[in-house]
């Protein structure tokens, strides 16, 4: 993470850990603009990994790396727990699904006990092949993700049986729905790096 945060335009990185079955880690990097994710400095880091990064990459399997933009957000701060819901809109249902999330679901979340903030992320650009991917295998990606953080893990997890229940999401036009609850394990800003 310190390597990434030293790249111009990288603002903050957070690493989340999951204890339940499924992907073990979720790492979110916040950047000044999507252009940072195709900048010469970032490409140089991806194509010329340090020996430490190269050793670490060999152990990463099934990685999904998506270059997203924030479509909508609400609340303040980042809690110590998060629910990540990845999904894609069913054919012809993109506008309806986005409208429901942005206008109905997201505005109510930050005001609930135990929750801090939320962001709706959508894939903004294709992640080009890199030397790091050659080491670990081609990355997968997601279409969209709803990232909800809070300070009460039970309140965060409860969203998976309420507003963000996969069956409810599917009824509003989502498909390929996966969700996981993660705990914050590390956070770093560019000023700290």
pTM score, whole prediction: 0.91
What does the pLDDT profile of the chain (193 residues) look like in tens digits?
999 999 999 999 999 999 888 889 999 999 999 899 999 999 999 999 989 888 888 888 888 999 999 999 999 999 999 999 999 999 999 999 999 999 999 999 999 999 999 999 999 988 888 999 988 888 899 999 999 999 999 999 999 999 999 999 999 999 999 999 999 999 999 999 8
What is d(CA 36, CA 5) in angstroms, rounded to the nearest whole number? 12
Number of domain units in the chain = 1
The pLDDT score that the predictor gives to residue 128 is 86
The pLDDT score that the predictor gives to residue 60 is 84
Range of the domain at 174: 2-189
Q: Which helix (H) or strand (E) element contains residue 1?
A: none
Q: Report the CATH number that the domain containing residue 34 is assigned in CATH.
A: 3.30.70.100
The pLDDT score that the predictor gives to residue 53 is 87
What is d(CA 9, CA 30) in angstroms, rounded to the nearest whole number? 9
CA distances from 79 to 14, 74, 87, 151 (A): 11, 13, 22, 5
């Amino acid at each position: 993470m310190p390597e990434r945060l030293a790249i111009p335009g990288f603002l903050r990185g957070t690493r989340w850990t999951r204890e339940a079955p499924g992907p073990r880690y979720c790492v979110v990097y916040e950047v000044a603009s999507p252009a940072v994710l195709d900048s010469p400095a970032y490409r140089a880091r991806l194509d010329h990994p340090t020996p430490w990064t190269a050793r670490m990459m060999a152990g990463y399997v099934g990685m999904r790396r998506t270059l997203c933009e924030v479509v909508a957000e609400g609340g303040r701060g980042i809690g110590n727990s998060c629910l990540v819901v990845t999904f894609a809109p069913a054919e012809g249902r993109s506008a309806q699904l986005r409208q429901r999330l942005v206008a109905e679901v997201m505005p109510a979340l930050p005001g609930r006990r135990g929750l801090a903030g939320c962001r709706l992320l959508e894939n903004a650009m294709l992640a080009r092949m890199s030397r790091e991917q050659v080491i670990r295998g081609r990355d997968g990606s997601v279409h969209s993700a709803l990232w909800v953080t809070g300070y009460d893990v039970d309140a965060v997890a409860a969203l998976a049986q309420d507003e963000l229940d996969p069956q409810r999401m599917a009824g509003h036009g989502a498909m390929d729905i996966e969700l996981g609850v993660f705990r914050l394990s590390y956070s770093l800003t560019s000023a700290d790096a």
